[in-house]
């Protein structure tokens, strides 16, 4: 059974409605945007101030941590003060870890309670043991006994519950039977879901959060398949946990949340940033708006064709690599390549020595230049004849109608070093001519096409020995709602597979309708991440160009960041940083910025910065090093998921972290800065 109605159109999954007070989730309700306070919950005044600030910027559901019974009791006063301030219709959610007693207190005061099935009535010890079937059944009976009182009280009071699984806090029982996998995350939630259903309680929302968008996407897809098989239709809360801050946090959130929303999954979302919570809301609103615009008017297709992508297991599409410079190829096992759109003047500047410092960390591997006249083509030929000290290895040439085949033949054989890529839209007459020209001179043909034209394209290039072919999507194939560009590229990849064309796939983020509605930098960032992220996490894509950025250096940096967010090309230090909450034991924002300033040059090193131990050791398990709050003023340092130094004074923790990185051979000195 498929996890979504369509992989090519954006059709919303049908769910029951679940209500948190007066706010409905799922059913026919819009995507609900939520966030979380970061204050100490027992500081009632501070927590109410933060809740009000969130409500005033459009947060529809406010979550508050309740790490113990005393904090849970404070929710009564927080609810009362928040209502007196004029926000009685905005529900509060109690965030519970470990303590059923805290949940039983919280459910008396707020409209929704979130429990983490990985640590509710469990303590994670990273224990290694085997569970017999009898042992496992006894554990489930213990869970039934622990969770049932909360279910019955929520049912009596008209509350709702969120079963919120975190990749980083799976129980030892789940870990030992299913491993640290999306399947383990799903089974963890289903155990609690079945307990609730045994009491005929269905006011439930589910979530599958991870700091890794690939894991998060796969877990939600599997959860939906499992629920659909059992005729369950609960709403989903989406989020990438520990996404980080700045551009990286927004990109990772857009990739994870956006991928699922485009497939019709998701009813309420949180963008988790290591920033003040109010900054999460506009990002979440923009992501939700993009999805809802595509959902509008969508209808179930009469016939739905599938593609051959395994939605539960990452596997990169097999392609024939195309080389355009020594040791630089697109496709095959090589990392996705970075192209930018430039003007002729910009391309000339990029090849000049002055550009070397700008491109040191983000090399532009190919530049797409459009020329409209024979005069511009002559200027391009002149520039190519000059020795370049640095710049794009590939010139992708897109010609206007004034450039004829004879002019192209001249530049193809002009004696300049470096391969060209001739970029053009498929045409049954002209494509064979350009393909022959490219093959004869060792250049590349990049064809923009549509799925219906792929058989004709395959025929047009058949038999051309040595042809280097790249395929991308024609502008005319970009759909309007309920279709989406991700679906169009999926259809293109499926068409190539059926025609046995293994050419590398070039993903191009070009101005679309959503861009016209939101031309801001955030809008451009989200549009690029919500296109490229889902495709690359599905294993599709060998080249990426973000063509909505006018400045090529800025476009290149954004492209690298999107590829890193999708986990397919690491070009800088990777940071996993959780958002603050009332459990946090140090200032996450300043700490993250401080550690980034000292370690941000360590390409390929993954560092986790976690405010407390609730999700820290598990969520950072695939990190190289970890910096985790262990007690007030004390930091625990990790290598992988092993704590190697306990209770380090915070004043010494940065230096001790760097010493650990040195000790394990991962440190390099930063390059000297220019005066």
pLDDT above 60: residue 126: no
Rounded to 10 degrees, the C-alpha dihedral 464/465/470/475 comes to: -10
Higher-pLDDT residue of 617 and 442 is: 442
End-to-end CA distance of the chain: 61
Burial of 463 from C-beta contacts in 10 A (0-12 / 13-18 / 19+): exposed
Would you place residue 58 in the very low, low, confident or very high pLDDT band (cuts 50, 70, 90)?
very high
Domains 17-295 and 322-565 alike in fold: yes
pLDDT for 468: 95
Q: Does domain 17-295 have CATH number 3.40.1260.10?
A: no
Would you place residue 173 in the very low, low, confident or very high pLDDT band (cuts 50, 70, 90)?
confident
Cβ count near 182 (within 10 Å)? 25
Would you place residue 132 in the very low, low, confident or very high pLDDT band (cuts 50, 70, 90)?
confident
pLDDT above 60: residue 356: no
Higher-pLDDT residue of 358 and 109 is: 109
Q: Is 346 left (phi over 0), alpha (psi -120 to 50) or beta?
A: alpha
pLDDT for 392: 82
pTM of this prediction?
Answer: 0.92
pLDDT above 90: residue 172: no
Higher-pLDDT residue of 144 and 670 is: 144
Q: Residue 301: helix, strand or coil by DSSP?
A: coil
Element (H, E) at 118: none
pLDDT above 80: residue 53: yes
Quote the CA–CA distance of 83 and 65 in Å, as a whole number. 18
Higher-pLDDT residue of 478 and 28 is: 28
Burial of 506 from C-beta contacts in 10 A (0-12 / 13-18 / 19+): buried
Element (H, E) at 222: helix 213-229
What residue ranges do the domains of the chain occupy?
A: 17-295, 322-565, 574-663
pLDDT for 515: 53
Percent of residues, the chain, with pLDDT higher than 90: 65
Q: Which of 141-155, 357-371, 485-499, 516-530 has the lowest mean pLDDT?
A: 357-371
φ, ψ (nearest 5 deg) of residue 252: -60, -40
**pLDDT digits over 585-603, tens only?**
678 888 888 999 999 889 8
In SS3 terms, 244-266 reads as CCHHHHHHHHHHHHHHHHHCCCC
pLDDT above 50: residue 135: yes
Burial of 76 from C-beta contacts in 10 A (0-12 / 13-18 / 19+): middle
Quote the CA–CA distance of 187 and 195 in Å, as a whole number. 13
Would you place residue 88 in the very low, low, confident or very high pLDDT band (cuts 50, 70, 90)?
very high
Pairing verdict, β 394-399 and 420-425: parallel
pLDDT above 70: residue 246: yes
User: What would the two tokens of residue 186 be?
Assistant: 């799903």
Handedness of CA 505, 508, 512, 518 (dihedral sign): positive
φ, ψ (nearest 5 deg) of residue 116: -100, 110
pLDDT for 616: 55
pLDDT above 80: residue 622: no
Q: Residue for token digits 């306990």? A: 646
Of 643, 28, 65, 579, whose CA–CA distance to 272 is shortest?
Answer: 579
Give the mean pLDDT of 518-522. 84
Higher-pLDDT residue of 337 and 581 is: 337
pLDDT for 61: 98
List all residues 6 or more positions away from 359 whose beta carbon is below 8 Å from its beta carbon.
350, 390, 391, 553, 556
Burial of 313 from C-beta contacts in 10 A (0-12 / 13-18 / 19+): exposed
Quote the CA–CA distance of 415 and 381 in Å, as a whole number. 10
Q: Which of 74-83, 146-155, 432-441, 506-515 has the lowest mean pLDDT?
A: 506-515
Contacts 24+ apart (CB under 8 A), 621-627: 621/168, 621/180, 622/212, 623/574, 623/576, 624/661, 624/664, 624/666, 625/657, 625/660, 625/661, 625/664, 625/666, 627/591, 627/595, 627/653, 627/657
Mean pLDDT of the chain: 89
Quote the CA–CA distance of 370 and 343 in Å, as a whole number. 7
φ, ψ (nearest 5 deg) of residue 410: -65, -45
Give the mean pLDDT of 187-200. 96
Q: How many residues does the chain have?
A: 675
pLDDT above 50: residue 257: yes
List all residues 6 or more positions away from 412 whose beta carbon is below 8 Å from its beta carbon.
420, 422, 437, 438, 440, 441, 443
Quote the CA–CA distance of 100 and 104 in Å, as a whole number. 6
Pairing verdict, β 23-26 and 17-20: antiparallel
Would you place residue 175 in the very low, low, confident or very high pLDDT band (cuts 50, 70, 90)?
confident
Quote the CA–CA distance of 271 and 284 in Å, as a whole number. 6
pLDDT for 574: 86
Quote the CA–CA distance of 574 and 374 in Å, as a whole number. 46
Quote the CA–CA distance of 587 and 185 in Å, as a whole number. 29
Handedness of CA 230, 535, 550, 675 (dihedral sign): positive
HSE toward the beta carbon, residue 517, CA cutoff 13 A: 10
Give the mean pLDDT of 248-263. 96
pLDDT above 60: residue 565: yes
Handedness of CA 479, 481, 485, 488 (dihedral sign): negative
pLDDT above 80: residue 359: no
Would you place residue 301 in the very low, low, confident or very high pLDDT band (cuts 50, 70, 90)?
low
Q: Does domain 322-565 have CATH number 3.40.50.300?
A: no
Percent of residues, the chain, with pLDDT higher than 70: 91
Quote the CA–CA distance of 178 and 165 in Å, as a whole number. 14
pLDDT above 50: residue 200: yes
Pairing verdict, β 322-325 and 337-342: unpaired
In SS3 terms, 615-640 reads as CHHHHCCCCCEEEEEEECCEEEEEEC
Quote the CA–CA distance of 124 and 133 in Å, as a whole number. 20
Would you place residue 244 in the very low, low, confident or very high pLDDT band (cuts 50, 70, 90)?
confident
Please name the CATH architecture into which domain 574-663 falls: 2-Layer Sandwich (3.30)
């Amino acid at each position: 059974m498929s996890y979504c109605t369509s992989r090519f159109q954006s059709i919303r999954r049908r769910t029951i409605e679940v209500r948190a007070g007066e706010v409905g989730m799922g059913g026919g309700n819009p995507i609900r945007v939520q966030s979380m306070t970061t204050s100490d919950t027992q500081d009632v005044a501070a927590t109410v101030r933060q809740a009000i600030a969130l409500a005033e910027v459009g947060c529809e559901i406010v979550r508050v941590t309740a790490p113990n019974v005393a904090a849970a009791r404070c929710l009564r006063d927080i609810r009362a003060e928040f209502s007196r301030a004029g926000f009685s219709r905005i529900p509060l959610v109690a965030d519970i870890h470990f303590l059923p007693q805290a949940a039983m207190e919280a459910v008396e005061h707020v409209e929704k309670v979130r429990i983490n099935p990985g640590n509710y009535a469990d303590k994670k010890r990273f224990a290694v043991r085997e569970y017999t079937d009898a042992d496992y059944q006894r554990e489930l009976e213990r869970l039934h006994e622990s969770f049932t009182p909360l279910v019955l009280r929520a049912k009596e009071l008209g509350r709702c519950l969120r079963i919120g699984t975190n990749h980083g806090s799976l129980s030892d029982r789940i870990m030992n039977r299913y491993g640290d996998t999306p399947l383990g995350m799903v089974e963890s939630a289903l155990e609690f879901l079945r307990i609730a259903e045994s009491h005929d309680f269905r006011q439930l929302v589910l979530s599958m959060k991870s700091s890794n968008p690939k894991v998060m996407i796969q877990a939600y897809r599997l959860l939906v398949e499992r629920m659909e098989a059992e005729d369950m239709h609960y709403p989903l809360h989406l989020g990438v946990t520990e996404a980080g801050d700045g551009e990286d946090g927004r990109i990772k959130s857009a990739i994870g949340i956006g991928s699922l929303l485009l497939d019709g999954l998701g009813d309420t979302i949180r963008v988790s940033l290591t920033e003040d919570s109010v900054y999460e809301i506009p990002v979440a609103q923009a992501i939700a708006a993009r999805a809802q615009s595509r959902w509008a008017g969508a209808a179930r297709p009469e016939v739905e064709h599938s593609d051959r992508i395994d939605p539960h297991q990452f596997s990169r599409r097999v392609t024939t690599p195309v080389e355009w410079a020594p040791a630089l190829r697109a496709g095959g096992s090589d990392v996705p390549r970075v192209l930018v759109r430039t003007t002729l003047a910009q391309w000339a500047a990029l090849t000049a020595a002055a550009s070397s410092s700008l491109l040191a960390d983000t090399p532009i591997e190919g530049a797409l230049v459009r020329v409209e006249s024979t005069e511009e083509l002559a200027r391009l030929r002149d520039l190519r004849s000059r020795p370049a000290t640095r710049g794009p290895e590939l010139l992708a040439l897109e010609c206007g109608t004034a450039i004829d085949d004879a002019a192209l033949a001249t530049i193809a054989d002009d004696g300049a070093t470096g391969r060209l890529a001739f970029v053009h839209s498929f045409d049954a007459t002209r494509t064979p001519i350009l393909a022959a020209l490219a093959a004869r001179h060792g250049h590349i043909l990049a064809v923009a096409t549509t799925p219906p034209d792929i058989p004709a394209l395959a025929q047009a290039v058949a038999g051309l020995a040595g042809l280097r072919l790249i395929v991308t999507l024609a502008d005319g194939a970009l759909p309007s709602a309920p279709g989406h560009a991700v679906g169009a590229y999926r259809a293109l990849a499926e068409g190539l597979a059926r025609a046995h064309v293994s050419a590398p796939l070039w993903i191009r983020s070009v101005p679309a309708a959503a861009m016209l509605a939101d031309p801001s930098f955030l809008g451009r960032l989200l549009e690029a991440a919500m296109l490229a992220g889902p495709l690359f996490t599905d294993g599709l894509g060998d080249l990426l160009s973000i063509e909505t950025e006018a400045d090529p250096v800025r476009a290149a940096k954004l492209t690298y960041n999107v590829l890193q967010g999708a986990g397919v090309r690491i070009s800088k230090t990777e940071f996993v940083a959780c958002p603050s909450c009332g459990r946090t034991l140090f200032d996450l924002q300043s700490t993250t910025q401080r550690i980034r300033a000292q370690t941000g040059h360590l390409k390929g090193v993954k560092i986790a910065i976690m405010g407390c131990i609730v999700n820290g050791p598990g969520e950072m398990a695939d990190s190289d090093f970890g910096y985790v709050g262990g007690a007030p003023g004390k930091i625990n340092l990790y290598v992988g998921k092993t704590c190697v130094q306990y209770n380090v004074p915070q004043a010494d923790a940065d230096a001790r972290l760097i010493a650990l990185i040195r000790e394990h051979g991962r440190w390099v000195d930063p390059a000297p800065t220019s005066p």
